[in-house]
Structure 1
Amino acid sequence: MKTTKMILGLALAFTIWSCSKEDGENSTLSEAKINAKIDAIADDVSDIVEKEYYEAANLAGRNAQTQELALPDCVTVTVTGDLSSWTRTLVFANCTMPNGNVLDGTIIISGSTDFDAPTQTINYSFVNFHHNNILVEGNRSMVRTLQSTAALATIHPVANVAFDMQLTFPNGNTYHRVGNRVREMIAGFNTPLLWLDNVFSITGSWTTTFPSGTRTSTITTPLVAEATCPYLVSGVITVVGPNNTATLDYGNGDCDNQATLTVNGTTTTIFLGN
């Protein structure tokens, strides 16, 4: 009888452990999808901010970039400023962007009119701004420089983005993210009148507070974003949580909506998108 109880006890313990392990992996999978959505918000906003910086430079008589990826007609842009600074206020009215993401609300972007300065600081904030129905709040800044880096010896644009933002999903869950991303234009910078050939390498790290706890993410293989693709085409993010370490791999350079998530040796394909 004692032996039978011991076997039943071990079986029950194994079942509970297996369910707990499975629940943990499912939770990590869900969190990876949430992280991917937040990353997509960061990339879309960075694209818009850099576009508006180039527009401000063009208005000042600089030969900057012409953006083929133009904003939809449903975006209202108001330009204000003085001799020392510029501000561009963008109001999105449930606008579908070229990559299919839907934006609503206001982004306010500002910077210095000294476009010849070696370093440019661009500030931007959100007013009732939604990305695919996700409310985005907080302030961010982008420091742009022209420099040589380990990623590319040739002088090229580098944007260091610092952020402290809160995101509220349609189900009411909130996520707080603090950190920085360094976004380097590693191709296309020699063709300032052509935006579609631009390629970006992205590094950085950040901490995201989920309802269930805090996760730390580090880009362990630089992410690669191409102007012609709505998804990241390659790179790896390693996410460390209280119970698991996971890796999210965006692939080998193909433009697709798939990434692979590996947790505890188990790899799962996840699909990215709205």
Structure 2
Amino acid sequence: MNLIARSLKTLGILILVFALFNSCSEDANPIGTDQELSQTELQTILTTDEAAGTVDNALAELFAGGAQAGKSAKSANDCYSAEYTDTGFVATFNNCALNGTENINGTLTVTYEVGNETAAFTATYEDFYVGTIKLSGTRAYQLNSNVEQNTISFTVTSNMTVEMEDESVITETGTKTFAFTFGENLGDSSFSLSGSWNVTADGNTYTIETVDPLVGGFNCEHLTNGSMVVSKNGLEITVDFGDGECDNVAILTYPDGTTEEINL
């Protein structure tokens, strides 16, 4: 249980870090045409986990509580509670404020399986609200730790629908692996994202596959390494985040060899 509790808290931090590192700036480029990939689109396909990740710390706390089947538990401020079964728990959130987000409401059903160095569980979202954002679907987690390499990694398989306040809908399916490698201090630690997933938004379909893991550290506010291939409505674009230098630039390469520099 301690493994899942620690891992979930770290996962929540990683998701928020990726959202922060790739959040939209005031001068973000608008949604692009079918023949290009804009800054806003790049941010969308990297940060669709942000809303769902706001409750990961709460899930960690409820799991770590370890109540027996038939028992219940509440948070310190009574904004969320859980009813436990033999295989998991059902968590209910009532106007919670978590990780800087207010008005979190809805029900999550969590089932889990625990091993020695790995743990697996699935969270099902049923008309779950983070502020004005509505979440539905499932996220299945496989958590791993490597003590010798001082690393925790999380593979998350998602089948999620995100409905925004303006009734626009974003869907995501696929698998992402988040990893966190601990250094001697926070500045020496690093995180990475790899995997393949699909996103639909604003009438466009994006298929994303990392070529090299996307890597960042806490001593730079941008991703510094890695590359991925984004297929936008069938148009394949390679996105290169660099070779370790701390800057806000990514290089897009189009099928005809044309390159474009884009600000993150």
5+ residue gaps, structure 2: 1-31, 68-74
1:42 aligns with 49
Say if 1:228 and 1:169 are closer, same or farther in 2 by CA, change over 3 A: farther
Say if 1:196 and 1:105 are closer, same or farther in 2 by CA, change over 3 A: farther
Pairing partner for 1:77 from 69, 80, 84: 80
1:138 aligns with 137
Say if 1:197 and 1:224 are closer, same or farther in 2 by CA, change over 3 A: same
Is 1:55 the counterpart of 2:61? The answer is yes
1:17 aligns with none
Alignment of 1:85-164 (within 5 A): 85-91=88-94, 93=96, 95=97, 97-98=99-100, 104-106=104-106, 108=108, 110-112=110-112, 117-130=116-129, 133-147=132-146, 154=149, 156-164=151-159
5+ residue gaps, structure 1: 1-21, 62-70
Pairing partner for 1:221 from 212, 223, 238: 212
Q: Which amino acid aligns with 1:78?
A: S
TM-score (norm 1): 0.60
**Contact 2:94 2:103 survives alignment (8 Å):** no
**Distance between the aligned counterparts of 2:251 and 2:51, measured in 1?**
22
2:237 aligns with 246
TM-score (norm 2): 0.61
Question: Considering only aligned residues, what root-mean-square deviation do their CA atoms show, in Å?
Answer: 4.3
Is 1:206 the counterpart of 2:182? The answer is no
1:267 aligns with 260
Say if 1:133 and 1:223 are closer, same or farther in 2 by CA, change over 3 A: farther
Number of residue pairs the alignment of both structures matches: 222
Is 1:178 the counterpart of 2:173? The answer is yes
Deviation at 1:123, TM superposition (A): 1.7
Identity %: 15
**Contact 2:51 2:130 survives alignment (8 Å):** no
- Whichever structure has more helix as a proportion of its residues is 1
Deviation at 1:90, TM superposition (A): 3.8
Deviation at 1:225, TM superposition (A): 5.4
